[in-house]
C-alpha cells in the first residue's frame, strides 16, 4: 500500500487531477481507510508542493494545479467521512483587511493551510476589525491571519490587534500577518505573533504557533 500512497502523492505534486481521482477511487474500492488516503496520499503530496513552492522550485500556477488535483481526491473521500471526525491541525480565521480587495495570495494561504489539515474560516476581502472580532467569538480559532497587498490598508492590521486588546481577546488567539508590503519588522511593530512571506511559510508558522 505504501507504493500506492507514493503514487497518489506524486500525482498530486504533478497536478494530475484525473490520475488522483482514479487512484483515490481504487483505494476506496480496496477498502482503504479514507483518513489514511488523505494523510498519507493527498496531504503528503501537498506538503511536498508547499516545500517546493517555498524554495522557488514550484510556482503559483503549479501550486493551483496541485491543489485542484488534491481537491479532486478529497471530493471522493469526504462523503465517506460522515460521522468520522477528520483530524484537524487547528482552526484559522483568514481574511484580507479592510479596504483591500486582493485575495489571490490570501486564498493560496487558505488552500495550503487546508491541505495541511487546518480548518479554515475564510472571511473574504475587506474584512475590518469588527469582522475579525465577530469571527473569533463565533469560531474560536487558534490563529487569525490577515493579508494586505496595499500600503494604504496594512495599518488595518494594527487596528484589528488594538480591538482584540480592548476586548480582552488578544491573549486568546495568535495573530499572523502577510502580503507583499508586509515585513517581519512591521509585524513586530504592530505586535503580531508572526509574519510569513509566502503561503507555505504561513502553514509552517501556524503549525509552530499551535504546537
Ligand atoms: Co492591485 N495592486 N490594485 N489589483 N495588484 C498591486 C498589489 C500593486 C503592487 C500593483 C502595482 O502598482 N505595481 C499595487 C499596490 C501598490 C502599493 O500599495 N504599494 C496595486 C494597486 C495600487 C491596486 C489598486 C489601488 C489599483 C487602482 O484601482 N488604482 C486597486 C486596489 C483595489 C483594492 O484592493 N481596494 C487594485 C486592484 C487590483 C485588482 C482587483 C485588479 C487585482 C486583484 C484581484 C484579486 O486579488 N482578486 C489586482 C492585482 C491582481 C494586483 C497584482 C498585479 C497581483 C497581486 C497578486 O495576486 N499576486 C499586484 C502587483 C504584483 O504583485 N505584481 C497588485 C500573486 C499572489 C500569489 O501574491 O498576494 O503577494 P501575494 O501573496 C503571496 C504572499 O504575499 C503571501 O503568500 C502569497 C503566496 O505565496 N501572503 C501571505 C499573502 N497574504 C498572506 C497572508 C499571510 C501570510 C502570507 O498570513 C495571514
Instruction: With residue 178 as reference, give the H or E element that holds it.
Output: strand 174-178
Per-residue confidence (pLDDT) for residue 34, from 0 to 100: 86
Ligand 1 centroid–CA 102 distance in Å is 5
> pLDDT tens digits, residue range 119-155?
999 999 999 999 999 999 999 999 999 999 999 999 9
Distance CA 117, CA 210 (A): 13
Ligand 1 near 149 CB (within 6 A): yes
pLDDT, position 85: 62
Q: 114: Cβ–Cβ under 8 A, 6 or more apart, which residues? A: 120
**CA dist list (Å): 116 to 93, 150, 160, 190:** 15, 28, 26, 28
Q: Note whether 124 and 95 are within 8 A (CB).
A: yes
Residue nearest to atom 16 of ligand 1 (CA): 150
Our answer on whether the CB atom of 58 is closer than 6 Å to any ligand 1 atom is no
Work out which ligand 1 atom sits closest to the CA atom of 99: 35
Distance CA 27, CA 1 (A): 9
Mean confidence (pLDDT) of the chain: 93
Query: How far from the centroid of its chain's Cα atoms is residue 116's Cα?
Result: 7
Give 178's strand partners. 147
Q: DSSP labels for 9-39? A: HHHHHTT-HHHHHHHHHHHHHTT--HHHIII
User: In this structure, which residue's CA is closest to atom 46 in ligand 1?
Assistant: 102
Residue 178 Cβ contacting ligand 1 at under 6 Å: yes
Could you tell me the distance, in angstroms and rounded to a whole number, from the CA of residue 164 to the centre of ligand 1? 26
C-alpha cell belonging to residue 88? 484537524
**Domains along the chain with CATH numbers:** 2-81 (1.10.1240.10), 91-210 (3.40.50.280)
CA distance 162 to 179: 20
Q: Is the CB of 101 under 6 A from ligand 1?
A: yes
CB 183 less than 6 A from any atom of ligand 1 = no
Q: Is residue 7 pLDDT above 90, yes or no? A: yes
Q: What is the value of pTM for the model shown? A: 0.88
Distance 88 CA to ligand 1 centre (A): 30
Q: Which of 29-33, 98-102, 143-147 has the lowest mean pLDDT?
A: 29-33
- Report the alpha-carbon distance of residue 105 to residue 84 in Å, rounded: 31
End-to-end CA distance of the chain: 30
Beta strands 143-147 and 91-96: pairing type? parallel
Amino acid at each position: 500500500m505504501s507504493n500506492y500512497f507514493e503514487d497518489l502523492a506524486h500525482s498530486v505534486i504533478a497536478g494530475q487531477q484525473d490520475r488522483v481521482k482514479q487512484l483515490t477511487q481504487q483505494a476506496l474500492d480496496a477498502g482503504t481507510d479514507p483518513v489514511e488516503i488523505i494523510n498519507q496520499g493527498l496531504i503528503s503530496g501537498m506538503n511536498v508542493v508547499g516545500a517546493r513552492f517555498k524554495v522557488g522550485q514550484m510556482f503559483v500556477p503549479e501550486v493551483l494545479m496541485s491543489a485542484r488535483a488534491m481537491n479532486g481526491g478529497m471530493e471522493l473521500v469526504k462523503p465517506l467521512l460522515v460521522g468520522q471526525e477528520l483530524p484537524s491541525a487547528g482552526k484559522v480565521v483568514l481574511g484580507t483587511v479592510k479596504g483591500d480587495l486582493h485575495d489571490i495570495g490570501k486564498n493560496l494561504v487558505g488552500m495550503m493551510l487546508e491541505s495541511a489539515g487546518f480548518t479554515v474560516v475564510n472571511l473574504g476581502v475587506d474584512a475590518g476589525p469588527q469582522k475579525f472580532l465577530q469571527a473569533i467569538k463565533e469560531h474560536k480559532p487558534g490563529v487569525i491571519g490577515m493579508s494586505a497587498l496595499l500600503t494604504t490598508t496594512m495599518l488595518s492590521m494594527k487596528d484589528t490587534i488594538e480591538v482584540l486588546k480592548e476586548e480582552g481577546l488578544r491573549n486568546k488567539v495568535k495573530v499572523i500577518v502577510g502580503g507583499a508590503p508586509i515585513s517581519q519588522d512591521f509585524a513586530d511593530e504592530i505586535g503580531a505573533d508572526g509574519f510569513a512571506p509566502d503561503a507555505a511559510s504561513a502553514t509552517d508558522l501556524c503549525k509552530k504557533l499551535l504546537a
